[in-house]
Amino acid sequence: MPIQEGWLAGARRVPSPNHNARPDGEVSLLVLHSISLPPGEFGGDAIERLFTNRLDPAGHPFFAEIADLRVSAHLLIRRDGECVQFVPFHGRAWHAGRSRWRDGGVERTGLNDFAVGIELEGDEVSPYTAAQYRTLARATRALLDAYPRLTHERITSHAHVAPLRKTDPGPAFDWAYFRQWLSSMDISA
């Protein structure tokens, strides 16, 4: 899965209007998220509709609360392992919100400026699928290869960068299993 002109080869492209330019062009952090729309339900096109400003507020009571949000992520990894890309990696997706990262002893805010956001279709209690871990490891390997400032130590969760506000991808995300997949990608790289 190489990256070409900011796009991950093999990912289905669904361009989102919810992005802008990175101020310094820096890509040095990977933030993992989870999302399900409606909450706790998987499948359907609601996530894509949210990230492209086409979510019907009448489609579900929860949608009325979020239909006006202007958010995006670089990638969405669906339950079956399908990868959907909304924003090229050199663009600033709107995923991290108010957040902070300790970077070499310096606290940084405005993480969207330098972070890639990957959403996993899921919630914080349902186990993620093997197909999702495999696709996530492949995408992460491609990002590590393409962006030298991004390292294994710079892969984190939304919960870690916004601890009082977010808890995703939650306890259902198996970090050890993900790192096993990523290690197997490192060996074959």
Distance of CA 55 to the CA centre of its chain: 19
Q: Is 82 a catalytic residue?
A: no
pLDDT attached to residue 186: 67
Catalytic residue chosen out of the listed positions 5, 48, 119, 124 = 119
Could you give phi then psi for residue 142, rounded to 5 degrees?
Answer: -65, -40
Tokens 């790289």 locate to 189
The CA distance from 74 to 7, in Å, is 9
From CA 119, how far away is CA 75, in angstroms rounded? 6
For residues 19 and 94, is the Cβ–Cβ distance under 8 A? yes
User: What is the reported pLDDT for 65?
Assistant: 96
pLDDT of residue 189: 43
- pLDDT tens string, the chain, 189 residues long: the values are 799 999 999 999 999 999 999 999 999 999 999 999 999 999 999 999 999 999 999 999 999 999 999 999 999 999 999 999 999 999 999 999 999 999 888 999 999 999 999 999 999 999 999 999 999 999 999 999 999 999 999 999 999 999 989 999 999 999 999 999 999 876 544
Reported as a single tens digit per residue, the pLDDT across 134-146 is 999 999 999 999 9
Buried b (16+ CB within 10 A) or exposed e, 117-145: bbbbbbbeeeebbeebbbbbbbbbbbbbe
CA distance 149 to 82: 27
- Domain assignment of residue 33, given as a range: 3-188
C-alpha to C-alpha distance for 72 and 116, rounded to whole angstroms: 11
Instruction: Give the model's pLDDT for residue 187.
Output: 53
C-alpha 122/C-alpha 129 separation (Å) is: 9
Q: Total structural domains in the chain? A: 1
CATH number of the domain bearing residue 145: 3.40.80.10
